[in-house]
Amino acid sequence: MALFGTDGIRGLANRDLTAELALDVAVAAAHILVESSSNKDHQPTAIVGQDSRASGEFLEAAIVAGLTSAGVNVYRVGVLPTPAIAHLVAESKADLGIMISASHNAMPDNGIKLFARGGGKLDDAIEARIEARMGEDWERPTGRNVGRVFNDETAAKRYLKHLLASVDTPLKGLKIVVDCANGASSFVAPEAYRQAGAEVIAIFNSPDGWNINDDCGSTYLHQLRSAVIKEGADLGVAHDGDADRCLAIDAAGNEIDGDHILTILARSFKDRGLLKSNTVVGTVMSNLGFMHAMNTAQIDVITTAVGDRYVLENMIENNYSLGGEQSGHVIMRNLANTGDGILTALQLMQEVVRTGKTLQELSVTMVRFPQVLINVKNVDKNKLNESKAIAQAVKAAEDRLGDSGRVLLRASGTEQLVRVMVEASSDSLAQEVASQLADLVKSELSQ
């Protein structure tokens, strides 16, 4: 089984993702970047950050040890969002960035995300090279050739400055609630929104190492919904553990998912002449309602595999300016080289102020098709495409739904499960078809 998934390495900390594994990954990554450097006299540098999980502490120690033992100078930036690491790598011209985070996963998990020079995520080929080099014999540097460790006390301020540079419409008069998931956005997100001019009520912004994503954040929106209604706020935004996602709640308590946000921003980008090639990039999980909304707005849509890295690859290859996922990853290439939940929230809130419309009014341009997603666990996801019975069942379901529905089965890139997604003209029909397919997947692929 491949070590890297669609978003780096992820697993149960100290069992799947151990200190030894983290050290080996760091050493192998250091070797790859040193060998690929055009300046052999240059001592490479890396930026290392983490979310608020307690396990990030020992993993950071292992990664820093691996990098410095391989001759890389390390700048530790502490608890910051994943997109902050990407930005800081690009800004400082570092050779490598490493973020220790399992994003929206529960606290016991953790992960390692790697960024190349320029702040982009590593492509599949480089990840494969790193994996192949792990555990090899190597000549260790000594003396002045070993790496050094520096604590970068200015990193958060520099990232905050980058965020605020995206604001050309002050958020004065806007009252918002932000759910920080007790994660990496707990310190910078409320400050960014306040400095942008909004009245900010922050919730779940007191991380203690154990409470990240614990019944809060972008995967548990009920807490944000209650706070928005209680406080009489104009809207609320929720981030995941590493703050590369943003979902929202309008003043009436309605959920505004990534497809809604992408619809609002795509129309805004088009109106302001920022939508290159009149095209937005989505994924195969984008809701049919999003597709219809883009068709109505006469905006073209390109779809990729699930994963913001694949969205970004397509955007770079074709020079598109806007793309994203239903989960709340939104990439705006005029502002950043990766998905950034705080940047997304700032752009969404600016659109509310800029248009004078409520978030609810802006979101009605997309009518979401009922969608049911079932995660089928404890199955051999690698055999999904080998089952003729599943393929036949999917074809029959697609024929039944016709143009008013859709079926998607895919193996998760980060967890050992198969996702069954069905969209239909009604909730009951979507649930019925999804349940039948999920039962079949369970019986066909049980381990």
In angstroms, rounded to a whole number, what is the distance separating the alpha carbons of residues 207 and 334? Answer: 32
Place of tokens 């590593």: 122
Give residue-wise pLDDT tens across range 387-440. Answer: 899 999 999 999 999 888 999 998 887 677 899 999 998 999 999 999 999 999
* Chain segment 216-273, per-residue pLDDT in tens: 999 999 999 999 999 999 999 999 999 999 999 999 999 999 999 999 999 999 999 9
* Cβ proximity of 358 and 251 under 8 Å: yes
Residue 99: name the closest of 162, 148, 52, 43 by CA. Answer: 52
Count of Cβ atoms closer than 10 Å to residue 310 Cβ? 20
18/6: higher pLDDT: 18
Q: Which domains are delineated in the chain?
A: 9-156 (3.40.120.10), 166-363 (3.40.120.10), 371-445 (3.30.310.50)
Contact criterion met (CB below 8 Å) for 14 and 64: no
- Amino acid type, 434: A
Exposed e or buried b for every residue in 155-180, given b needs 16+ CB within 10 A?
A: bbeebbebbeebbebebeebbbbbbb
Which helix (H) or strand (E) segment holds residue 26: the answer is: helix 19-36
Between helix 19-36 and helix 55-69 the angle, nearest 10°, is: 40
What is the Cα–Cα distance from 191 to 169, expressed in whole angstroms? 17
Q: Tokens in use for 423? A: 């969209």
Give the tens place of pLDDT for each residue, 45-88: 999 999 999 999 999 999 999 999 999 999 999 999 999 999 99
Known catalytic residues? 103
pLDDT grade for 447, boundaries at 50, 70 and 90? low
Contacts of 49 (CB under 8 A, 6+ apart): 76, 77, 78, 79, 80, 82, 84, 85, 88, 97, 98, 99, 100, 155, 184
> 63 and 95 in contact (C-beta within 8 Å)?
no
Rounded to 10 degrees, the C-alpha dihedral 164/170/175/177 comes to: -20
Where is 363: in which H helix or E strand? helix 359-363
In this prediction, residue 39 carries a pLDDT of: 62
d(CA 326, CA 330): 9
Q: Tens of pLDDT along 78-91?
A: 999 999 999 999 99
**Average pLDDT score over residue span 292-313:** 93
For the chain, the first-to-last Cα distance in angstroms comes to 15
Is residue 229 within 8 A of residue 311, CB to CB? The reply is no
Q: Identify the H or E element spanning 175.
A: strand 175-179
Cα separation, 90 vs 394, in Å, equals: 44
Instruction: Quickly tell me which residue has 């399992």 as its tokens.
Output: 102
Contact 180, 203 (CB under 8 A): yes
pLDDT classification of 306: cutoffs 50, 70, 90: confident
DSSP conformation letters of 199-238: EEEEES----SS-TTSS-STT-THHHHHHHHHHT-SEEEE
pTM value surpassing 0.85? yes
Bridge partner residues of 324 (DSSP): 330
Nearest-angstrom CA–CA distance, 363 and 118: 34
Residues above pLDDT 90, as percent of the chain: 84
Q: How many residues does the chain have?
A: 447
250: tokens are 């309008």
pLDDT of residue 7: 80
> What is the rounded CA–CA span in Å between residue 405 and residue 431?
12
- Return mean pLDDT, the chain: 94
Q: Give the pair of three-digit tokens for residue 58.
A: 């020992």
User: 3-state DSSP call for residue 299?
Assistant: coil
| Per-residue pLDDT at 265 | 98
> The tokens of 334 are what?
């005029």
DSSP 404: G
Q: How far apart are CA 311 and CA 169, in angstroms?
A: 27
